[in-house]
Amino acid sequence: MSRPNEDLERVARWLDGEAIELTADQRALADELAADEAPVAVALDVEVPPGALHRVHARLRRSRRAGRWVRVRVAVAAAAAVVVGVGLLWLAPQAPAPAGPVPFETYLAEMARDPAPDLQAEVEALEMEIAQTRAQVVAGGPSEVTVALAKLAEDIRSCLVEDPQDEDEAIWRQWVDNL
């Protein structure tokens, strides 16, 4: 039989120890629940087997000891890392101290400086090269590049046309003669 939720809530609050008035119906429900609970509660009780709590405590102690060892190992490792770190810092060459911020006046002077004097030498060398090339073109002779390309073409042609077998035979004959 389903009961109104309000009844159930009131009975629960009453059974929880709240000082509230129950209707006769609600009180009957509370009594019924208590009557069902009593024998079940007796039946539910369990005896702890001998030694069980001792074994649980021993397990806890073992775990705590293991945890302590882990903490000790971590602490030793951390200490060793600190010692090594400090040693390395001590042995490392001292780096020069940072220069610090550049004064504003220096920065301004550097930015305002004319870069032309640094480039002047390069500009003059380029001008000389252009003048030489122009003179060669005017004179009509082959330029250095043309000569170099012609030589390269000749080398390639001779490599392709020469019969390597003849050359090998000549070397062989020369070796026999020497013997």
Partner 1 sequence: MDAQQLRAMIRQARAGSDEAYRDFLTAYGARLYGYFYRATSSAHDAEDLLGELMLRLLRRLGDYDERGRFEPWLFSIAANLVRDRIRRARTRPAPASLEADEGRGSLSETLGGADPPPDAGLARAEDRAALRAALATLDEESRQMVLLRHFAEMSFKDIADMFECPLGTALAKVHRALKALRRAMEEADHEPAE
Residue 5 binds to partner 1 (criterion: CB under 8 A) = yes
Contact status, residue 29 vs residue 11, Cβ threshold 8 Å: yes
User: Three-state DSSP class for 67?
Assistant: helix
Alpha-carbon gap, residue 37 to 15, rounded angstroms: 12
Contact status, residue 26 vs residue 7, Cβ threshold 8 Å: yes
Contact status, residue 42 vs residue 54, Cβ threshold 8 Å: no
The DSSP output letter for 142 is: P
64 vs 173, beta carbon nearer partner 1: 64
Residue 46 binds to partner 1 (criterion: CB under 8 A) = yes
Backbone angles phi, psi at 22, to 5 degrees: -110, 150
Residue 36 binds to partner 1 (criterion: CB under 8 A) = yes
Instruction: Calculate the CA 125 to chain-centre distance.
Output: 50
Query: By CB under 8 A, which span of 31-39, 99-107, 112-120, 144-152 interacts with partner 1?
Result: 31-39
Residue 63 binds to partner 1 (criterion: CB under 8 A) = yes
Residue 64 binds to partner 1 (criterion: CB under 8 A) = yes
Query: What minimum distance in Å lies between the beta carbon of 69 and partner 1?
Result: 15
Alpha-carbon gap, residue 18 to 173, rounded angstroms: 127
Instruction: Figure out which of the listed residues 6, 105, 163, 166 binds partner 1, where binding follows CB under 8 A.
Output: 6
Query: What minimum distance in Å lies between the beta carbon of 68 and partner 1?
Result: 9
Query: By CB under 8 A, which span of 55-63, 83-91, 95-103, 155-163 interacts with partner 1?
Result: 55-63
Alpha-carbon gap, residue 146 to 154, rounded angstroms: 12
Residue 150 binds to partner 1 (criterion: CB under 8 A) = no
Residue 95 binds to partner 1 (criterion: CB under 8 A) = no
Contacting residues toward partner 1, per CB under 8 A: 3, 5-9, 11-13, 15-17, 29, 32-33, 36-37, 39-49, 52-53, 55-57, 59-61, 63-64
